[in-house]
A and B are shown apart, each in its own frame.
Chain A
């Protein structure tokens, strides 16, 4: 047992307290009657049907790593990008059928969504609700447990205001800047940072950021203030006396450099690696884990009101509202079409 405010010194005592109060006689509700017991799931026929039709299970080898949403009948599925991009052997399952190979064909870093493609025809595509204006206290359903044939629902409610989740620690280029006599030089630069991906390297000298000349570290902080994840910024730098211009896509500080675990993190089980820096989300209280993210957020009718994009902690999960999700999907499909000619129909 964990005391939720001052945890460390009293952890053991807490356990003793709970044990004693519960051995002295208590009543308990059998698991099938609980909020997410089997009897509650029996009431969720329509969401369950939707999950089996248009949610996908994403595997890396044999391990379930995320869920996804079918957005086109020819094998296009969206999922949470940061959960799948590091896996090489992606497979997916829709209903009882398994599909492989699976390729990542487009990515939206701001929303952390990517588009997967596999060879398939005649898939049922996501059925959207008219809007994602769902009041707090409204029932919602997500992907719960999975078997080879079945998708089980998991129940919760909308639990807070829809809002922006600013990037933990702000949006960054992803470089450590050293003030040298010769100018501002790049020190550490993580390989997954926006700056590295745009071609910048250790030792490069920064001259301009977003068209503004910079001479000291504070200038950079000033320019980066109030920026958003996914925003693109022009960086001019010197490498071996040659001037180079690059366009850097910003990422969250915690996502780039890593973050210290807070006490709330330690009591949250496994949470999403990327859980901040979203332009607008719905918040719900569905119990899950890191691998239950990426699928649809449904209403009791089985209509999609959003896409689960992060399990932030034990009590808070985020979903992209359907309005923004439609835009994300059409952008991803357009991006994929640029590369391949076979994506034709826009999602309904």
Chain B
């Protein structure tokens, strides 16, 4: 009788457990054991990894901007990339992605969260690009087997993105830790479950080989729309917020009297010169905002930061002309 009761009780418990976690047909059965029961289980992990690795690798990219490089992963056919905020470096930055096959494509960063190290980047070229499925419903649990990919130390075509296998060893709300060893260049790269679904993005490491930290996908999901919209979220350590008033265009102007701003001087080696502004141009608008005089224009530029992208509408020889440039540093 006692045993019967106990069995019943356990039955109830496991039922409750099952309801708590929606069933996931793709979940690797070994994940529900605290440790693989034998070599067969290890081979099941290996087989799962091998079957999803090629597709996962095809979607893993190397992101280059400035001097450094990091990694990222494509999650849609039109080229949306998830990466780390400290790799993207800011909002609306020019980035080059190197695809698994070595093709280089131009990208621009969208939004980022400087507190959790998450960011989005968009490929500007036309797709379709190879991509992976994102586990937006957050089905991974502590102890699950996971694998990481990344272009450690930069892109190396002969090597490819290195794969590392491990388990999720710590799970907190906005950080996961695995024992897949990461190194510089892996930042922003993908962490996958054994069905090849994206569950996290590499962020940072500790000195201990087991301290490999990832941003969990739930953190991206939380701010998805803001990231797509190109917002700079938070004031954390992973990206520096552009400082207003640090931007510099490099033109001298005068009010022409009839509501137009005339360019009288172009600074040598200024961004204005590089972008092709000329003495005699009339500045009509910046970022779609009409400017009635010099003072308004200066006010408008004061809101901008160095490296921020602006679009200037000009009148040149009676014709409208649009120039897009990135402001220099004051």
A→B interface (CB under 8 Å): 1-7, 10, 13-14, 17-18, 21-22, 24-29, 32-37, 39-40, 43, 135-139, 156-157, 159-161, 163-164, 263-264, 267-269, 283, 285, 287, 300, 313-316
* CB–CB B152/A315 < 8 A: yes
Contacts of A268 in B (CB 8 A): 183
Contacts of B209 in A (CB 8 A): 269, 287, 314
CA distance A5 to B66 in the complex (A): 12
Q: Which of B57-78 contact A (CB under 8 A)?
A: 68, 70
B171, CB-defined interface residue at 8 Å: yes
B164, CB-defined interface residue at 8 Å: yes
Known contacts A1-B211, A5-B68, A28-B169; 9 further A-B pairs (Cβ under 8 A) = A26-B172, A33-B34, A139-B43, A163-B158, A164-B158, A313-B152, A313-B153, A316-B152, A316-B162
Top 6 A-B pairs, shortest CB-CB distance: A26-B172, A13-B237, A4-B187, A137-B49, A285-B164, A39-B35
Shortest CB distance B8–A (Å): 28
* CB–CB B169/A18 < 8 A: no
Contact (A29, B143) CB under 8 Å given A4-B187, A5-B68, A267-B207: yes
Shortest CB distance B22–A (Å): 19
17 A-B pairs with CB atoms under 8 Å apart are A1-B206, A4-B183, A4-B185, A4-B187, A4-B203, A10-B237, A10-B238, A17-B237, A35-B179, A137-B49, A137-B50, A139-B46, A160-B163, A263-B184, A283-B162, A287-B181, A316-B152
Contacts of B34 in A (CB 8 A): 33, 39
Which A-chain residue is minimally distant from B38 (CB atoms)?
A43
Which A-chain residue is minimally distant from B69 (CB atoms)?
A5
B160, CB-defined interface residue at 8 Å: yes
Number of A-B contacts (CB under 8 A): 185
Contacts of B162 in A (CB 8 A): 159-160, 283, 285, 315-316
CA distance A139 to B48 in the complex (A): 12
* CB–CB B160/A24 < 8 A: no
CA distance A61 to B168 in the complex (A): 40
* CB–CB B159/A283 < 8 A: yes
Contacts of A36 in B (CB 8 A): 179
Contacts of A263 in B (CB 8 A): 184
* CB–CB A315/B182 < 8 A: yes
* CB–CB A5/B86 < 8 A: yes
Contact (A315, B181) CB under 8 Å given A22-B175, A27-B171, A34-B169: yes
Contact (A5, B70) CB under 8 Å given A161-B160, A163-B159: yes
B82, CB-defined interface residue at 8 Å: no
Contacts of B286 in A (CB 8 A): none
Contacts of B304 in A (CB 8 A): none
CA distance A35 to B165 in the complex (A): 8
Shortest CB distance A265–B (Å): 10
CA distance A163 to B159 in the complex (A): 7
Cβ 8 A contact of B170, one of A1, A7, A22: A22
Contact (A314, B205) CB under 8 Å given A29-B167, A157-B165, A300-B42: yes
* CB–CB A17/B163 < 8 A: no
* CB–CB A138/B46 < 8 A: yes
CA distance A161 to B143 in the complex (A): 28
Shortest CB distance B321–A (Å): 38
Shortest CB distance A175–B (Å): 29
Cβ 8 A contact of B184, one of A138, A164, A267: A267
CA distance A132 to B173 in the complex (A): 42
* CB–CB A34/B179 < 8 A: yes
B6, CB-defined interface residue at 8 Å: no
* CB–CB B204/A3 < 8 A: yes
Cβ 8 A contact of B35, one of A1, A13, A24, A33: A33
Which B-chain residue is minimally distant from A287 (CB atoms)?
B209
